[in-house]
Amino acid sequence: MVNHGLKIHFLVVALVSVWWIGFESVIAQNAPKYSNEFLTIGVGARALGMSNAVVASSSDVHAGYWNPAGLTQLQREVNQPKFQVGLMHNSYFAGLANYDYLGTAIPTDVGVVGISVIRMGIDDIQNTINLRDQNTGQFDYSRITKFSTADYGILLSFARKSKIEGLSLGGNVKIIHRIIGDFAQAWGFGLDVGAQYRKKDWKFGAVLRDATSTFNAWSFTLDRTTQDVFLATSNELPENGMEITLPRLALGGGYTFYFLQDQLTASPEVNATFTFDGQRNAIITSDPVSIDPSLGVEFGFRDIVFLRGGIGNLQQVKAEVGDYKTTSFQPNFGVGLQLADLFGLGTLSVDYALTDIGDQTLLYSNVFSLRFDLNTVMK
């Protein structure tokens, strides 16, 4: 006989699943297709050099962003560093936009906790709304002011190993704050859940980002002059409202090969990201599900020097002449250096990637990131 408690459990799961499918189908009609996109760029030059194909292999402080379940790898050995800090700064669009990341991860007796802070902003934007004096009608350049537009993301992570050998589970509480000068701001909240499974040299990972959908509540504050300028230039006045980010599912699998008496390693990984917000310009596309695959590989020599590469952002592009489409892709490259026992404090990892954020302009950026592994006992 089937346990009654188990029957009730399956019934609850079924009812929640039916409700969720219906809920997603309703909000998908009104949700913007691209929302909180600054959180999809990625952190850490290792991942960027591998075209973000790291859902299964991410195992350091950056896992708080890529797959929180990977944070449990900080506990894999007694003599492993117990405290990690990650840093990254990058400029996009010829220095117009700045992207900054700071993360930390600390193992505890019950699991690993982590904090990731991301900021993407454009600063010193000239505000010319009040350039013309409303009383005299003259242009007064001293009336030009400056403002910033910035997106902030804070990820509070927790991960722990399950009772199933090789399986780790993790999640993020996501807090979002977006500002556009003094004109508008939004606060958002969401959740990510992830899992990793490791069996010998095999690695598998899954992460559901914005699992409950992420909701940004926007509020606008426009003075009378700004409203008049909007109306005079045939623009609509913005209204307070809700912006919804629908879930996206990322799956990954990889394997590690060993050569030269285990001194040389090769770790390829394949990822696929599923979006559920309508047809996108992806290599596998439909309505409402689109699939964006990526492939990355990392070669390591004695865990000191690393060479990385990846292919991602596969798209179907319409030919300039003729009624047919071609497939485009974006290659990425990277290198890494790990310096152990640095001044007796721990390990310093320096990573570099030559990558693009996926705008198909081939204007690549040079990305550097640092990771500090601090020893448990400091003298």
Strand 167-180 to strand 145-161: parallel, antiparallel, or no bridges (unpaired)?
A: antiparallel
Where are the domains positioned within the chain? 31-374
What's residue 160's pLDDT? Answer: 95
Each residue of 220-254: b (16+ CB within 10 Å) or e? eebeeebeebeeeeeeeeeeeeebbbbbbbbbbbb
Bridge partners, 218 (sequence order): 186, 241
pLDDT at 158 over 80: yes
CB count, 10 Å around CB of 151? Answer: 22
For 267-320, the DSSP string reads: EEEEEEEEE-SS--SSSEE-SS-EEEEEEEEEEEETTTEEEEEEEEEEEEEE-S
Question: Confidence band (pLDDT; 50, 70, 90) for 121?
Answer: very high
d(CA 295, CA 305): 21
What does the DSSP assignment read for 86-121? EEEEEEETTTTEEEEEEEEEEE-SS-EEEEEEEEEE
Query: Cα(204)–Cα(62) distance, rounded to whole angstroms?
Result: 17
Q: What is d(CA 104, CA 65) in angstroms, rounded to the nearest whole number?
A: 11
pLDDT in tens, 36-81: 889 999 999 999 999 999 999 999 999 999 999 999 998 765 455 5
Judged against a pLDDT cut of 80, whether residue 33 lies above it is answered with no
Q: Which range, 19-28, 195-204, 228-237, 321-330, is most confident?
A: 195-204
Average pLDDT over residues 201-223: 91
* pLDDT for the residue 107: 92
Report d(CA 53, CA 270) in Å as an integer: 6
pLDDT for residue 182 = 83
* Contact between residue 112 and residue 71 where contact means Cβ atoms under 8 Å apart: yes
31-374 CATH pick, 2.40.160.40, 3.40.50.620, 3.40.640.10, 3.40.50.300: 2.40.160.40
